[in-house]
Amino acid sequence: MTSTVDSTGAAARPTSARPGGAQPAPTMPPAQRPDARIGRHRIRPVRIVLGVVGIVVALIWAFPVYWMLNSALLPNVVLQSTTPTWLPFGGSFDNFVAVYSGGTFLPALGMSTAIAVITVVFCLFFAFLGALAISRFRFRGRKAFVLAVLLIQMLPAEGLFIAQYKLMGSLNLLNSIVGVSVIYIAAVVPFTIWMLRGFVAGVPADLEEAAMIDGLSRTQAFLRITFPLLAPGLVASGVYAFLQAWNEFTVALVLLQDNSSQTLPLWLRGFIQASASRATDWGQVMAASTLVAIPVIIFFLFVQGRMTSGLVSGAVKG
């Protein structure tokens, strides 16, 4: 238990397997993998019907996203009509211009970006060190630390935000970038440690040792050999932390009550609130939502696979 880096343990671990607890699916060559294994031998009409059902379901599921883009590109005059315009007859960027010139978008963008960047940098640094500790060392208290990491990531923000509000109030950090960032880093670090743990374990300690025999110091060996191999893991975790900070609503709602310190989600919420009392310029709201969503959708496509497998890896492995 108390020995440090267990090189034999690391060697016995099949090193090719699953960096980052990667895709649970066994990789069958595509040619061998029939498209439909359950209904394979049944008559074709069933498959055609299922295919049609699949397309219809796909269209329904994507509809809200389509509707956001469609409305964002339509001039408000068209949206005023009670009959919806189904197809993108728009192509008018007036709504985006209106959002931009409203004057509140850029400050919110700045606030969100600052918080997200701070969260990513600190979270990656802290989590990387933590992941190194639990995957390369066996030490007294390791089990307790892993348990704490796993439990903490399940704690709901809703169960703690009142106390965090009081804490930040007493530290004079309400409505500040630092206050929110501290909470976000703590919220994201546990899952990031868990995600990085797999990546660190995937790089065999032997590689580092070989480099040290060749005359590198331990730090050099780590920086030149191990670190580059971890880059994909760090990118995936960084994107995950970024998305969490960028999208977070609950804590921001409580800690950033001042209008001048809104993040993008809070800024968007302003539009929903306004819609309750007066006629809303939905074209502008949808343009605003599009601006918030586009970077997220792009980043999300990067990390989706890792996130799924990180969350359920224990179960898939059985």
Partner 1 sequence: MTTQNPVLAPAAAPRPPRQPRPRKKGRSTPYLLIVPAIGILILALGYPLVWQFITSMQKFGLAQQFGQPPEFVWFDNYVTLFTDPYMWTVVARSLAFCLITAGVTMAIGTLMALLMDAVHSAVRITLQISMLLAWAMPVVAAMTVWNWLIDWRRGVLNSVLTGLGLDFQNHNWLATPLSFFFIAMVIVVWMSVPFVAFSIYAGLTQVSTEVLEAAQLDGAGLSQRLRFIIVPIIRPVLAIILLLQVIWDLRVFTQIRLLQDAGSIASETNLLGTYIYQLGVGSSDFAMASAVSIFVLVLTVALSWFYVRSMLKEDDS
Q: Of the candidates 122, 199, 240, 242, which one interacts with partner 1 according to CB under 8 A?
A: 122
Cβ atoms < 10 Å from Cβ of 306: 24
Interface residue with partner 1 among 29, 45, 82, 219 (CB under 8 A) is: 82
The three-state secondary structure class of 139 is coil
Q: Which is nearer to partner 1, 66 or 93 (CB)?
A: 66
* Site string (280-299) toward partner 1, x via CB under 8 A: x-x--xx-xxx-xx--xx--
Place of tokens 């374990």: 201
**Site for partner 1 contains 316 (CB under 8 A):** yes
Nearest CB to partner 1, comparing residues 25 and 106: 25
242 part of the interface to partner 1, by CB under 8 A:
no
Q: Which amino acid is at 204?
A: P
Q: Are 64 and 82 in contact (CB under 8 A)?
A: no
Length of the chain: 318
Listing DSSP states for 20-56 in one string gives TS---S----GGGS-S-SSSTTS-HHHHHHHHHHHHH
Residue 227 in contact with partner 1, rule: CB under 8 A: no
Residue 157 interacts with partner 1 (CB under 8 A): yes or no: yes
Say how many residues touch partner 1, by CB under 8 A: 137
Q: Which of 11, 97, 178, 231 binds partner 1 (CB under 8 A)?
A: 11
Residue type, 250: T
85: helix, strand or coil: coil
What span, in angstroms and rounded, lies between the C-alpha atoms of 318 and 312? 10
Question: Least separation, in Å, of the C-beta of 96 and partner 1?
Answer: 15
Question: By rule CB under 8 A, what string of x and - marks binding of each residue 181-200 to partner 1?
Answer: -xx-xxx-xx--xx--x---
Instruction: Label residue 33 left, alpha or beta by phi (over 0 means left) and psi (-120 to 50 means alpha).
Output: beta
- Residue span binding partner 1 (CB under 8 A) among the ranges 11-19, 87-95, 98-106, 234-242: 11-19
Residue with Cβ nearer partner 1 (114 or 160): 160
CA dist 203 → 31, 64, 115, 220, 309 (Å): 31, 42, 31, 16, 19
Q: Judged by CB under 8 A, which of 1, 8, 43, 101 binds partner 1?
A: 8
Residues 28-67 that bind partner 1 (CB under 8 A): 28, 32-39, 41, 47, 50-51, 53-55, 57-59, 61-62, 64-65, 67
Rounded Cα gap, residues 309 and 288, in angstroms: 32
Task: Pick the closer one to partner 1 by CB: 33 or 224.
Answer: 33
Does residue 220 touch partner 1 according to CB under 8 A? Answer: no
> Which of the residues 252 through 271 are near partner 1 (CB under 8 A)?
253-254, 264-265, 268-269, 271
Q: Is 97 in the site for partner 1 (CB under 8 A)?
A: no
Contacts 24+ apart (CB under 8 A), 68-71: 68/286, 68/289, 68/290, 68/293, 69/286, 69/290, 71/282, 71/283, 71/286
Residue 167 or 235: the one with the smaller Cβ distance to partner 1 is: 167
Residue 83 engages partner 1 in binding (rule: CB under 8 A): yes
